[in-house]
Amino acid sequence: MATFFSVVSGEIKMPFRMMSSTFCKFLSPIRSRTSFARSTVRVSTAGPGGINPTSLGVAPYKNRSMLPSFSLFSRTCSTQSTTAYFAPPTLKRKEALLDDYGFKLNDVKMDDIKVDIDNKQLLVSWTNGKTQIYPFVWLRDNCRCSECFHPEALNRLIQLHQIDVDVVAKSVDISPNGKTLTIHWEGDGHQSQFPSNWLLLYRFEDSHDDRLLNPKVQFWGSDVDFRRFDFGDLLADDGALYDWLTELVTLGIAVVKDAPRELGQLQKLAARVAFIRPFVYGLTCHVKSPNPNPLHSAYTTVPMAMHTDIAYYMREAGIVMLHCIQEAEGTDGESLISDGFKVALDLKRADPEAFQLLSKYQFEFFDTGREDHGEFHTHARHKTIKLDDRGEIEAVAFSDHSRDAMLRVPVNKVLPIYRALSKFYDMLLASENCLKYKLKAGEIMTLNNQRALHGRSAFQGSRHLEVGYMEWDEVNSRIRVLAKNLQNQP
Amino acid sequence: MATFFSVVSGEIKMPFRMMSSTFCKFLSPIRSRTSFARSTVRVSTAGPGGINPTSLGVAPYKNRSMLPSFSLFSRTCSTQSTTAYFAPPTLKRKEALLDDYGFKLNDVKMDDIKVDIDNKQLLVSWTNGKTQIYPFVWLRDNCRCSECFHPEALNRLIQLHQIDVDVVAKSVDISPNGKTLTIHWEGDGHQSQFPSNWLLLYRFEDSHDDRLLNPKVQFWGSDVDFRRFDFGDLLADDGALYDWLTELVTLGIAVVKDAPRELGQLQKLAARVAFIRPFVYGLTCHVKSPNPNPLHSAYTTVPMAMHTDIAYYMREAGIVMLHCIQEAEGTDGESLISDGFKVALDLKRADPEAFQLLSKYQFEFFDTGREDHGEFHTHARHKTIKLDDRGEIEAVAFSDHSRDAMLRVPVNKVLPIYRALSKFYDMLLASENCLKYKLKAGEIMTLNNQRALHGRSAFQGSRHLEVGYMEWDEVNSRIRVLAKNLQNQP
């Protein structure tokens, strides 16, 4: 009989040589080598040999019967290793989510289960008296045994067309301690196990939302007390990096101070997250004014109306970073910045019709020229205020200087749309909303480019900014990783 | 009196030294130095000096009265130079668009104009008997004189809050030849001129759509006769490049053949467009199977269900390029590819409820690991079938192997959603839809990743792909530029 390993009561039995960084991935919420050292999980050797975990999810999929060790593994895996197959919220986040439901993480217990054959679903009652429903097809689809889910790649192996959507359980059991649900399936005799706390975290009704995809934000006006982060700290300290990125999620504005007054600093900052998002201008654009051959009005000394950057992209930038290398003399050339979410909500209250028009119709934007990647001609369209399926504001996008004349709306809507836009603009510029801030050399203004609008006043003489972008996908990824590694922040 | 230049009958009078590449930008549709040589526009010198066009849009904005040359320019600019301030469709495209309306490009004439003061709009009757309405605020907003629009940067200079949305004309005139509309505005005495063909192109009712943002596509099944492009041709020939990119717009599938069988070729191909889109895996991912420590099930030898790539990004990739460096032995490891748009429309006809469910509810996707940019944890949610505001399919997004268990839907929708997804999947795999193609070493499969789903069958032995992405924003930009430069293709 092949050697196997099992997980019981937080103790993992396996050959020590398997404790590679890849195998550590199994252990949740501690999945990287670094984090593993902080864990309390004990590891010991089971038997003289060991199977290679890499092959776990692979071979049995192709020929289950040839590898009895596999079935053994999948049948003996306990709740803890099953949980480990997910990419879960961080430990603290899990604790908070279950606390809301009246449970401690390690205290979630099933009290009773009922099978509802007619509706092909399972009803789970918890010891706190509440109940949740789990459709059988969802349970079968999310079996985390190593035949169905690659334990190392953390990818689903079973394909949708291999699942009977009308599947029901042959038998269902809960363990005596109420912490493990075991299902024997009709048909192929497959068996799945689910830990109680995982079931509760993944409940259907009133399930928790992803806090980075639907973040709670703080609105602000011209008196915003934004935070200032030291450039050197951000390069060296994960805690500072986490604070800066979460500040961009929450407030959408922060200043990085004491950066070297030379090109190339944005790339260093972005490398701490992932990378600069390239665009047709290259990795960054160099807003050096006055420019004798301005490709864009940003390269002149004229005032710039409030805007979000690169609206001429369908995929507008997530985060804009404006690095001031040389500031304009005197007080000229101030940055003007407003919280587009706050102003849009104000508009909704003050003039619901205007809000509705700006969240329904699209303006078009374009840009042309020749830069690092050659000649370009970008063209995009955006609603000024973008709502998600719940009707909540998820982005603002507008740029007067790159707005095209083409307006594909019913002609009788044109005047109302201009009225609405004009009202929104006046509110963005109102003294209670519009922050005026003169960037100093060595400072990097960082903004949520899908929320904060920025502009500038006119100036005389020279001024030099380097401007670059990052995307929320990579920023959110970095936040999740940092949260996990930094003492399991929520 | 300051020197000025004017445009009459296609002849531009200006100091020859101003014929820099920047000034050539004024001339539409010929805007780059290269294209200029092909144009029929004649250039001659007007007077001994010349104003610097760079300053045109800048200085007068700040102090209009100081630069009479400016007013002269803006008042003497003819229809042709006014047209030139836009980033227009290519010449052939313009011709086609106006031909639809019953006009030749240089033959669009106004017959009559009527002012509708009550509704603050202008009615323009054409010599073909049709009429279009133009709201005054839109006309004022889109004045292309150099005070309102930077003639070099092609950016709007006038800011929205500087425009009276209730503006009306003091007087309106059409030129004797019916080709120029001149408006004197109430209030500041500003004057705007509009060429007839521009007005018709930018009409409100029944205006032309952007053919790249709403492309006409050709649906296909497993018998698709996709085109094959030579790698060397794409690097050397703009015509081949244009054909390949437009094929990706239209059909969404093409093969590039005879690429070197080594890493780094995708970067070369992407550099002809703009650049590779980086992601958490780096610039590309190296799908080398079998991998002893698979970060992802793609790195194994198991079958891969039909999917769009990187569904764990909110910003899913536009175009996926799969470069086969080493093919699997024998016939194993075939690529399976289906047209997601065609199958989604088939589903809509066969089962409207299933279509509705897949275009309403979102699945969630995640990926974790450690790659070029360090540890990552991406998480995104997508509707399987995404509809635009018109109810038309604009994207499909699905990936079973990276699908999360979290399903934030009403629990009574779960079984119907699985049924719908299962049906969609069965249709994707049906023999009439699913193309089976064994990639050979040196071939690059290129797909619209928001339309075509791809997977692979299992294989034995080794296989090596390099996979990289491009974005539609940059691809569409390149197509527009190529269309302009290549004999004005539509």
* pLDDT tens digit sequence for B89-144: 788 888 888 888 888 888 899 999 999 999 999 999 999 999 999 999 999 999 98
For A229, residues 6+ apart whose C-beta sits below 8 A from its C-beta are: A240, A243, A244, A247, A254, A255, A256, A257
Q: Say what the pLDDT of residue A295 is.
A: 66
Q: Are residues B232 and B312 in the same domain?
A: yes
For A60, residues 6+ apart whose C-beta sits below 8 A from its C-beta are: A66, A67, A70, A71, A74, A146, A147
Burial (CB count <10 Å: 0-12, 13-18, 19+), residue A119: middle
Residue of A nearest to B25 (CA): A369
- Biggest alpha carbon distance in chain A? 82
Q: Which amino acid is at B379?
A: H
Residue by residue, pLDDT tens for chain A (490 residues) are 222 222 222 223 332 223 332 332 333 222 222 222 222 222 222 222 332 232 222 222 222 222 222 222 222 222 233 333 445 578 888 888 888 888 888 889 999 999 999 999 999 999 999 999 999 999 999 998 888 988 777 888 888 888 999 999 999 999 999 999 999 999 888 999 999 999 999 999 888 888 899 899 999 999 999 999 999 999 999 999 999 999 999 999 999 999 999 999 999 999 999 999 999 999 999 888 777 666 666 667 777 889 999 999 999 999 999 999 999 887 788 899 999 999 999 999 999 999 999 999 999 999 999 999 999 999 999 999 999 998 999 999 999 989 999 999 999 999 999 999 999 999 999 999 999 999 999 999 999 999 999 998 887 888 899 999 999 999 999 999 999 999 777 6
- Which of B209, B278, B481 has its CB closest to that of A376? B481
CB A147 within 8 A of CB A82: no
Q: Which residue of A20, A477, A482, A489 to mutate against B (max B Cβ within 10 Å)?
A: A477
**Is B222 inside a domain boundary?**
no
Q: How many CB atoms lie within 10 A of CB B216?
A: 8
**Segments forming the whole domain that contains residue B453:** 228-485
The DSSP bridge pattern shows strands A284-289 and B335-339 to be: unpaired
Residue by residue, pLDDT tens for chain B (490 residues) are 222 222 222 223 332 223 232 332 333 222 222 222 222 222 222 222 332 232 222 222 222 222 222 222 222 222 233 333 445 578 888 888 888 888 888 889 999 999 999 999 999 999 999 999 999 999 999 998 888 988 777 888 888 888 999 999 999 999 999 999 999 999 888 999 999 999 999 999 888 888 899 899 999 999 999 999 999 999 999 999 999 999 999 999 999 999 999 999 999 999 999 999 999 999 999 888 777 666 666 667 777 889 999 999 999 999 999 999 999 887 788 899 999 999 999 999 999 999 999 999 999 999 999 999 999 999 999 999 999 998 999 999 999 989 999 999 999 999 999 999 999 999 999 999 999 999 999 999 999 999 999 998 887 888 899 999 999 999 999 999 999 999 777 6
Looking at residue B143, which CATH number applies to its domain? 3.30.2020.30
Give CA–CA dist B39/A377, Å, rounded: 20
Q: Are residues A374 and A476 in the same domain?
A: yes
Give CA–CA dist B102/B108, Å, rounded: 9
Dig out the tokens for B320 from the structure.
Answer: 């996926």
Q: Which residue of B161, B280, B383, B403 to mutate against A (max A Cβ within 10 Å)?
A: B161
Q: Say what the pLDDT of residue A421 is.
A: 97
Domain boundary among A201, A217, A239: A201
Cα-based distances in Å from A176 to A111, A180, A181, A193: 10, 8, 10, 14
Q: Say what the pLDDT of residue B294 is.
A: 66
Q: Are residues B287 and B189 in the same domain?
A: no
Say if the Cβ atoms of A160 and B294 lie within 8 Å. no
**Is B110 inside a domain boundary?**
yes
The 3-state DSSP composition of chain B as helix, strand, coil percent (nearest 5) reads 30, 25, 45
**Is B277 inside a domain boundary?**
yes
Angle at A462 between CA A459 and CA A468, to 5 degrees: 95
Query: Chain A contacts of B212, Cβ < 8 Å?
Result: 379
Angle at A136 between CA A135 and CA A140, to 5 degrees: 125
Query: Chain A contacts of B293, Cβ < 8 Å?
Result: 20, 22, 54, 152
**Is A458 inside a domain boundary?**
yes
Angle between the N-to-C axes of helices A265-273 and A472-485, in degrees from 0 to 180, rounded to the nearest 10: 60
Q: Say what the pLDDT of residue B57 is.
A: 26
Q: Are residues A191 and A233 in the same domain?
A: no
Give CA–CA dist B420/B343, Å, rounded: 13
Q: Are residues A238 and A104 in the same domain?
A: no
CB A319 within 8 A of CB A471: yes
Say if the Cβ atoms of A296 and B155 lie within 8 Å. yes
- Nearest-neighbour CA in chain B from A51: distance (Å): 13
Q: Of B66, B57, B74, B60, which Cα lies nearest the Cα of B5?
A: B74
Q: Say what the pLDDT of residue B234 is.
A: 98
- Nearest-neighbour CA in chain B from A62: distance (Å): 8
Q: What is the CA radius of gyration of chain B?
A: 27
**Is B305 inside a domain boundary?**
yes
Q: Which amino acid is at B240?
A: A
Q: Are residues B332 and B376 in the same domain?
A: yes
Cα-based distances in Å from B356 to A62, B413, B434: 35, 12, 23
Q: Which residue of A411, A459, A469, A485 to mutate against B (max B Cβ within 10 Å)?
A: A411
DSSP, res A16? G
Give CA–CA dist B263/B110, Å, rounded: 59
Dig out the tokens for B359 from the structure.
Answer: 């275009």
Say if the Cβ atoms of A58 and B301 lie within 8 Å. yes
Q: What one-character-per-residue DSSP string does B322-347 give?
A: EEEEEPPSTT-S-EEEEEHHHHHHHH
Q: Are residues B245 and B391 in the same domain?
A: yes
**Is A216 inside a domain boundary?**
no
Please state the domain count of chain B: 2
CB B315 within 8 A of CB A315: yes
* Coil vs helix vs strand at B62: helix
ipTM over 0.90: no
- Which of A54, A421, A472 has its CB closest to that of B160? A421
Q: Say what the pLDDT of residue A322 is.
A: 97
Say if the Cβ atoms of B274 and A292 lie within 8 Å. no
Looking at residue A338, which CATH number applies to its domain? 3.60.130.10
Q: CB pairs below 8 Å between A and B: how many? A: 312
Q: Are residues A323 and A241 in the same domain?
A: yes
Q: What one-character-per-residue DSSP string does B283-322 give?
A: SEEEEEES-SS-SSGGGSSS-EEEE-TTTTSSS--SEEEE
Q: Say what the pLDDT of residue A105 is.
A: 81
Q: Are residues B287 and B345 in the same domain?
A: yes
Residue A332 phi/psi, 5° resolution? -70, 160
* Coil vs helix vs strand at A82: helix
Q: What one-character-per-residue DSSP string does A418-444 give?
A: HHHHHHHHHHHHSTTT-EEE-PPTT-E
**Is B1 inside a domain boundary?**
no
Residue of B nearest to A376 (CA): B477
Q: Which residue of B56, B272, B402, B414 to mutate against A (max A Cβ within 10 Å)?
A: B414
Q: Are residues A160 and A289 in the same domain?
A: no
Q: Are residues B237 and B185 in the same domain?
A: no
Give CA–CA dist B339/B245, Å, rounded: 17
Q: Say what the pLDDT of residue A88 is.
A: 56
- Which of B87, B375, B478 has its CB closest to that of A366? B87
Q: E strands of A351-419, at which residues?
A: 362-371, 374-383, 385-387, 393-396
- Nearest-neighbour CA in chain A from B226: distance (Å): 27
- β-bridge partners, A142: none
**Is A217 inside a domain boundary?**
no
- Nearest-neighbour CA in chain B from A424: distance (Å): 10
Q: How many CB atoms lie within 10 A of CB B30?
A: 22
Domain boundary among A185, A201, A217: A201
Residue of A nearest to B149 (CA): A401
- β-bridge partners, A83: none
Q: Are residues B275 and B156 in the same domain?
A: no
For A195, residues 6+ apart whose C-beta sits below 8 A from its C-beta are: A79, A80, A82, A83, A179, A180, A181
